[in-house]
Structure 1
């Protein structure tokens, strides 16, 4: 039991350290946030433990290096992880899924090597992270990124009015740019945070009363 508890402690410590880095990334609105970093850190720890344990089993018996197998699995699983990542507007989704795939590969290696307690513990820890922390996302980062593209008449006062309307909705501006489409039209590209989690349709309909000013609006 003492042998297993040592490695369980390492997995717990890796989760804590991954959370430390992940919180900082999520606080700054980066795509790879809290859960993603925790999962990657747990997976790395688990596979490193396996490499050490497998080496101890064959040390002095053969020149073969069993850790090479784990290394190939870790590299190969990256192709599956990449397929789970999708860029949607200014947001990147699927990073947590990709990290899950990677961690699960480590769990599979642990079970295959006969280290059942370590594999079970890591699996339960990952499950708790996904279930509990997904409910706590709004506590850490109460905002979502949205990109708003507005085509409107080329009038400085009206541009300012449109921008102020977005702020009045409770949106917080992060980046704002204006490009000239024609002599009469300009396009506003505005990256904003959405702390109230307003629906995109709700934001769009807010500008119906400005039909003569706003020609079109796209929100991602």
Structure 2
């Protein structure tokens, strides 16, 4: 029987320790994810950790450390596909990035356990749990800080709605007033709005702005003849 030839007690016990460590540490990471009702919960993180440990341990037992390193690289790329499955885009929002990163870390924990680096695997687990728990209050505190438009780099657009006949003059006036306020224009687009009305949109060179200065420009333009509306808007690059 091939089993009799391949079975050796001490290597088997070594594999048992590796898989057990991966199971326990994966359970710790997965329990936190399960508690927060994430897509990849307890079982997923445990299976990722144990699977990574099994592949690495198998490669190390068969062909030594060199092949184990190669298998670790395959585990890293394979987890990338698994992580992509939990990332979902809902409109302009992307969900699941933290869950995917946690799966990636679970695989790293399993790889450490598979190479008999159980202490390192435990240390990594502590850092993963700290990242998912201890940093949450800091994240919430940062999210509550009001955003200062003057300190935020974004793409800003100034829009003027006017009659088609007055468009050339107003387009030049728009660029002139923005440059006088030290906001250079990178592009100007004219869109047809129908009923002899056009929209002139000037995109500013990426910079930080003072809302009061931009509003002063739009207020001035809105007072001009043939202008029905003038406004501005900004969106962050990230």
Of structures 1 and 2, the larger Rg is shown by 2
Instruction: Give the TM-score taking structure 2 as reference length.
Output: 0.44
Instruction: Give the TM-score taking structure 1 as reference length.
Output: 0.47
